[in-house]
């Protein structure tokens, strides 16, 4: 029998004028960017939490604390590659990743292929194993007011 597990991750960041906006390992054209200790890539952070959760290895904040200056301004692709290495040390491989980004703007659709290209090699999967969807909140709540962004991810890992 193949050993399989699923994990779920979620992350949210505030948006602020004049910041770079990183999503799925690429810089998006935007007037607002996410606020965080690292580059605040909400999608990668959600995927990392899903992978760590599936492997029963706590969460991204446990391994990469936002009080540690080593991670200040860090490219989140580093975290994704490192988390993939960490779960591989326990014998796990990534099967697939399914993500949803919740954001009013910019529109995510035109950037999905580039995000997949950026993240797939970090997780040792093909682009076909990564699904990225986007939605809005129809102008409701902090997302609708363009004050923040969130992302959720579900992953399957196997031995």
Binding residues for a divalent metal cation: 11, 13, 45
Residues forming a β-bridge with 94: 157
Report CA-CA distances (Å) from 16 to 24, 87, 100: 18, 33, 21
Q: Each residue of 46-58: b (16+ CB within 10 Å) or e?
A: bbbbbbbbbbebe
Structure tokens at 74: 């860090």
Residues annotated in the binding site, as ranges? 11-13, 37-38, 45, 59-61, 64-68, 135-138, 145
> Which one, of 106, 105, 123, 111, lies nearest residue 52 by Cα?
123
User: Residues for the chain: how many in total?
Assistant: 159
- Alpha helices by DSSP H, listed for the chain, are 42-54, 60-63, 76-89, 112-123, 141-144
Q: Is 139 left (phi over 0), alpha (psi -120 to 50) or beta?
A: left
């Amino acid at each position: 029998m193949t050993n399989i597990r699923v994990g779920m991750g979620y992350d949210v960041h505030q948006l602020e004028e004049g910041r770079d906006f990183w999503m799925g390992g690429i810089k998006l054209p935007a007037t607002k960017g996410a606020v965080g200790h690292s580059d605040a890539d909400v999608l990668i952070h959600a995927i990392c939490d899903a992978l760590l959760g599936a492997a029963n290895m706590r969460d991204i904040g446990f391994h990469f604390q936002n009080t540690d200056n080593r991670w200040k301004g860090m490219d989140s692709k580093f975290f994704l590659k490192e988390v993939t290495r960490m779960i591989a040390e326990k014998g796990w491989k990534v099967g697939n990743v399914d993500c949803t980004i919740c954001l009013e703007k910019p529109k995510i659709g035109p950037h999905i292929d580039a995000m997949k290209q950026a993240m797939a090699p970090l997780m040792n999967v093909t682009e076909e194993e990564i699904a990225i969807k986007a939605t809005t909140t129809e102008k409701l709540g902090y997302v609708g007011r363009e004050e923040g962004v969130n992302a959720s991810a579900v992953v399957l890992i196997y031995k």
